[in-house]
Chain A
Amino acid sequence: MTSLMDLGLEQGLNIATSAMRAQSVRMNTIASNMANTGSVGSTEASTYRAQYVTFQEVLDNKENLGGVAVTNLTNSKTPLQKLYDPNNPLAGEDGYVFATDVDHVTSMTDMLDSSNAYKTNIEVMKTIKHMIHQALDAMKI
């Protein structure tokens, strides 16, 4: 039987770190999405598409430490909107450009959620550190 039970309290620090790492990857893609709001391209293929990360639980066993990991980075697949903008240097012969599908509101809510999760895991880390210190202090008689 494999479980968290063979591991000590310091394992909690690794779990919290894995979550912080995953959230920072997510935050990077959100930053990339936000930076590209309103960008256009001349073809559908060359236009920036919103990126999303997928999280997956890491199961705990003796080899693996458990926590969370980023498993996938996917591009959005929604069809891009065509805009008529003949003055744009990227516009094709017909005067159309493709607008990116980055959604402002989704990016903002994602950012808040990610930053909130990051903060929570910092607090988990602090608490576990505090618990370990308490255990160490209890050995002083």
Chain B
Amino acid sequence: MSYDFLGAESQAIKLCERRALHIAKNLANVSTPNYQAKDIDFHNSFAAALSRVSDPVHTTNPRHIPISGNGAENPKEYYRVPILESLDGNTVEEETERKNFTENGMYYTASLNFAQNKVKLILDALKGGG
């Protein structure tokens, strides 16, 4: 496994992209009867992904079972519990989803900036600070 110098940032970016799709789908189904809003737990998935970046588990034998789930490749999904039940069984709360979508966009911008700065730093080092 090659050394992934953008470990944390790339995991965060991946997670943000997945989460954006989940929330986009929730907002698309805002008037679908019986639709159950789904989301991923960013903080737990990110922590799990990070622990795998810093201490990756390798399979050294073809009979080993690879670890799946909870990383950025396969974050755990959960159903959102609505504050108020709606009559048609839809659990999308527009305000919550909008807030999450904005928040997710901010995390995405931040992660991209961190990644970009890291690359700049490495380029600077390669050029000898010149």
Contacts and interface: CB of A to CB of B under 8 A. Distances in A.
Given A15-B24, A135-B112, A141-B119, A114 B33 contact: no
| Interface SS majority for chain A | helix
A114 B32 CA distance: 11
B101 interface: yes
B35 interface: yes
Interface size class, chain A? 35 or more
A60 B115 CA distance: 30
Given A8-B17, A9-B17, A127-B101, A55 B31 contact: yes
Given A18-B28, A131-B108, A134-B108, A11 B116 contact: no
A60 B26 CA distance: 12
A58 to B, nearest CB: 9
Interface of B: 13, 17-18, 20-25, 27-33, 35, 73-75, 77, 94, 98, 101-102, 105, 108-109, 112-113, 115-116, 119-120, 123
